[in-house]
């Protein structure tokens, strides 16, 4: 997989009423349903909450990339994000692994593992 887009989370939004982060951008806050929000910075690091390995890609375009990992990541700022996870060759992810965002956009994210020792 080629990671070319370094424009990471340009549109992460924070609710101005309750402070909840939104990913992906939504017109209403999922916590309090307020419509107002502001731009918010995230450090892009978090913990792997869960993952699945996709062996049968749902589209022809993704078929060449299978098997690939879809992950749920809890960012340090408290929002759960769905994205792809890149692991070093020969290593498998474990829930609780530290990961960091390496690329993303308005509605997608790509993470990589950062701190687990090779066992």
The binding site for Zn ion (CB under 5 A) comprises 15, 17-18, 20, 29, 31-32, 34
The least distance separating Zn ion from the CB of residue 4, rounded to whole angstroms, comes to: 34
Q: Which is nearer to Zn ion, 80 or 91 (CB)?
A: 80
Q: Which is nearer to Zn ion, 38 or 61 (CB)?
A: 38
The least distance separating Zn ion from the CB of residue 23, rounded to whole angstroms, comes to: 14
Going by C-beta distance under 8 Å and a sequence separation of 6 or more, which residues neighbour residue 13?
21, 22, 25, 26, 37, 38, 39, 40
Helix (H, G, I), strand (E, B) or coil at 95: coil
Pairwise CA distance, residues 2 & 102, whole Å: 11
What DSSP element (H or E) covers 81? Answer: strand 80-86
Q: Which is nearer to Zn ion, 29 or 42 (CB)?
A: 29
Tokens representing 118 are: 């090779």
CA 82 to chain centroid, in Å, comes to: 5
The least distance separating Zn ion from the CB of residue 26, rounded to whole angstroms, comes to: 11
The least distance separating Zn ion from the CB of residue 45, rounded to whole angstroms, comes to: 23
Q: Which is nearer to Zn ion, 17 or 72 (CB)?
A: 17
């Amino acid at each position: 997989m080629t990671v070319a887009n370094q424009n990471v989370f340009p549109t992460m939004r924070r609710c101005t009423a309750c402070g909840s982060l939104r990913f992906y951008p939504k017109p209403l806050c999922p916590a309090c349903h307020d419509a107002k929000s502001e731009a918010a910075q995230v450090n892009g690091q978090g913990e792997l909450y869960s993952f699945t390995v996709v062996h049968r890609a749902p589209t022809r375009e993704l078929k060449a990339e299978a098997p690939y990992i879809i992950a749920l990541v809890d960012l340090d700022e408290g929002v759960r994000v769905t994205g792809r996870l890149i692991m070093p060759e020969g290593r498998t992810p474990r829930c609780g692994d530290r990961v960091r965002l390496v690329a993303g956009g308005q509605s997608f994210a790509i993470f990589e593992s950062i701190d687990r020792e090779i066992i």
